[in-house]
Amino acid sequence: MGPTGRIESIAGAQTRLRMGIAVDSIGFGIQIVWLLLLAAVVDSVFVDGDDLAAVIRPLTAMAVLPIATAGLAIGSQWLLASAGNMVTTDLRSSLAHDIAAKGPTEVERLRVGSLATNITITTRAIGDYVARFQPVRMIAVIGPTLVVLAVAFIDLWTVAIVTFASAMLVLLLALIGRRTRDLTDLRQAELTWLGAFYLDMLSGLPTLRAHGRQTDATAAISEVSRRHAATTMEVLKSAFQTSLVMEWASTAATALVAVQVSFRLIQGHTSYGNSLAVLLLTPLFFRPLRQLAAEYHVGQAAGSAASELTELLEPTGPAASDETPETESDPIRVKPAHTSAGTTTTTASAIAPIEFQGVSFSHGQELVLDRLSFTVEPGQTSMLVGPSGAGKSTVLALLMKFSEPANGRILTGTQNLADLDARTWRSRVAYVPQRPHLFMGTVGENIALAEPGASPEEIEAAIHSIGAESTLLSLPEGLHTEVGERGHRLSTGERQLVAMARAAMTSSELLVFDEFTAHLSPINEQRALIALERLCAGRTTLLVAHRMSTIAIADTQIEIPTLSPVVSGA
């Protein structure tokens, strides 16, 4: 998909782009007329000896025409910027939906920093391509054509000169351009990488300071910047060659035309008026080309940006619209909700056992789970135990369909989890991660995350049901208390209870907890455990924990064995 591949599918954007270009072309035509008028008035004074009164009418027209050009320029900008906005908006919304559908595993793999850049900045680069580069590219064809048409009526020799110069120009640019494109791709990759690098360094600044290494980090930044500058300088060196050629073509053509017409003037083969007209029009022939060169980086950046976004959008893009049967090789596939709703809701009422049958999973090269099998009985609280790094969190990620098993299957009742739509499945599960994320907003909004329409009474009921009223309802502004960024205005214990209340809000029949007491002090842990016990009642629960106190409430334990390196090499 090219940067503007999408534009055709966006109603109105294409039309605005075309209209904008048309308006721009008219503006360009008026500039030609203005210069022809100037040549005519100079001619009538210089050759015919006319006085000011004789030329006052064309002069007045020349004073008015630029105002019309201005109006057209503003109008075309309005049209073009709207087209660019439409494309940007469309891309952002597709990306946001796509990334959300891909889920946490993909977000982690693709990095939050780069994804945020892609969603906010890269999409704008493509919008700019439509609003800025595309029109300039069109005018670079239309403008010179108009000039040649005008000149053809006046002086064919000049047509020959500008045609020759522009042919040379195209040839030279083609030679230089390819190299520039490769380097620009490299530069774009470097830019994205630099963004992630800075974020990493800045996030790690407390650590660097704790180790007294901030000065060395500053040196590293300087080094990386220098290397980046070297790459960019390479690109620009070629870009300068482009502008050198541009400058040369335009200047040389002007000089050639001037000398050529002056020789023919002496011989009486042409008139002064015609000579001046072509001299004035020659630079105008090259002006759109120079503008194209100036905006060339916008086009290049968009090209690189587009390929980056295409990679992001492709895997789920076509899959989401196709209703082809499930293939196990596509782990991040998302089926449209309506196709699976009928098959899944039939069993939703009954609490089915969860069964892992010979499930294997690899993280890159490393085998994390090897033919793991176990069953979680309905209504029971089961606990995953095993040494650190044995893959307990991976089991939960598979159960949440954040990832899909490489081998084996996970059953809920008689249904294979792989056949279920991820969203439908997750709506039946309440999940409390190790470090629950609180979003900017109020306590109430955070609790009602999964049930956005919930009334304050329902939220309070959820809080009561886990016995957290003394903590959460006694906050300064109760449910309206702002949690701050990442919930930093609440204590760790309060954050954990908000996450528990979130789970209590849902009518999910399966609860999944990942080491949720790992960061809690004994008092908070006690509160969380009370909440947990109340939550678990009557539901199937799977939890990861290694605290003795948590073990007490579990009905069964499921052992996850560690894999020895020998096994992972097999």
Partner 1 sequence: MIRLAQILGKNLWWMAATALLAFFSHGAGLALVAVAAYLIAKASTVQSSADLALAITGVRAFATFKVVIRYVERYVGHLATFRTLTRLRTWFFDRISRVPMPSFERATRGGLLESITTDVDILSSFPLRAAVPPAVAAMTVVAGAILLGWIDPVLAAPVAVGSGIASLGLAGISRWAIGPTSAELGRTRSEMSSATVEMLDGIEDLVAAGREDLLADRLDAFDTREANQTLKLSILRAISKSLVLVIASATAITAFAIAVPMVTASTLDPLLLAVIPLVCIAAFEAVEPLTAAAEELQASRVAMRNLDALTAVVEPAVPDLVRPPATPTAVAFHEVSFAHQGGPPLLDHLNLEIEGGSHVGITGANGSGKSTLVELLLGWHQPTRGEITIGSVDVAKAHPAEVAALVGVVLQPDHVFDSTVADNLLVANAEATTDSMMDALSSMDLRDTAETDLLTRPTGPDGSSLSGGERQRLMTARALLTEAPVLVLDETLAQLDQTTARKVMRTIRERRRGLTTIFISHEAEKLVGLDRMVDLGSVNGAGNAHEGSTPQSR
Site for partner 1 in 198-237 (CB under 8 A): 198-218, 221-222, 225-226, 229, 232-233, 236-237
Which positions from 435 through 464 interact with partner 1, judged by CB under 8 A? 436-440, 449-450, 452
User: For residues 376 and 399, which CB has a smaller minimum distance to partner 1 in the complex?
Assistant: 399
296 forms part of the interface with partner 1 (CB under 8 A) = no
User: For residues 137 and 426, which CB has a smaller minimum distance to partner 1 in the complex?
Assistant: 426
Stretch that binds partner 1, among 253-261, 319-327, 346-354, 370-378 (CB under 8 A): 253-261
Give least dist CB 86 to partner 1, A: 8
User: For residues 131 and 529, which CB has a smaller minimum distance to partner 1 in the complex?
Assistant: 131
Cα(99)–Cα(398) distance, rounded to whole angstroms? 18
**For 541, phi and psi rounded to 5 degrees?**
-130, 135
Contact 563, 556 (CB under 8 A): no
Q: Which residues contact 137 (CB under 8 A, 6 or more apart)?
A: 292, 299
Give least dist CB 42 to partner 1, A: 5
User: For residues 170 and 191, which CB has a smaller minimum distance to partner 1 in the complex?
Assistant: 191
Give least dist CB 248 to partner 1, A: 5
Which residue of 502, 509, 516, 531 would you call a contact of partner 1, by CB under 8 A? 502
Cα(274)–Cα(109) distance, rounded to whole angstroms? 66
Contact 335, 519 (CB under 8 A): no
Contact 301, 381 (CB under 8 A): no
Which positions from 41 through 100 interact with partner 1, judged by CB under 8 A? 41-42, 45-47, 49, 51-52, 55, 59, 62-63, 65-67, 69-71, 73-74, 76-78, 80-82, 84-85, 88-89, 92-93, 96-97, 99-100
Helix 456-465 crosses helix 492-505 at what angle (to 10 degrees)?
110
19 forms part of the interface with partner 1 (CB under 8 A) = no
12 forms part of the interface with partner 1 (CB under 8 A) = no
Q: Which residues contact 543 (CB under 8 A, 6 or more apart)?
A: 381, 382, 383, 384, 511, 512, 513, 514, 516, 532, 550, 554
User: For residues 208 and 473, which CB has a smaller minimum distance to partner 1 in the complex?
Assistant: 208
Cα(161)–Cα(461) distance, rounded to whole angstroms? 84
355: enclosing H helix or E strand: strand 354-363
Give least dist CB 508 to partner 1, A: 10
User: For residues 120 and 339, which CB has a smaller minimum distance to partner 1 in the complex?
Assistant: 120
Which positions from 524 through 563 interact with partner 1, judged by CB under 8 A? 524, 546-548
User: For residues 117 and 188, which CB has a smaller minimum distance to partner 1 in the complex?
Assistant: 117
Strand, helix or coil at 308? helix
531 CA to centre of own chain: 40
Which positions from 320 through 379 interact with partner 1, judged by CB under 8 A? 363-366
Burial (CB count <10 Å: 0-12, 13-18, 19+), residue 391: buried
Stretch that binds partner 1, among 299-307, 319-327, 408-416, 422-430 (CB under 8 A): 422-430
Which positions from 390 through 419 interact with partner 1, judged by CB under 8 A? 391, 393, 400, 402
385: enclosing H helix or E strand: strand 381-385
Closest to 87 measured CA to CA, from 122, 52, 59: 122
129 forms part of the interface with partner 1 (CB under 8 A) = no
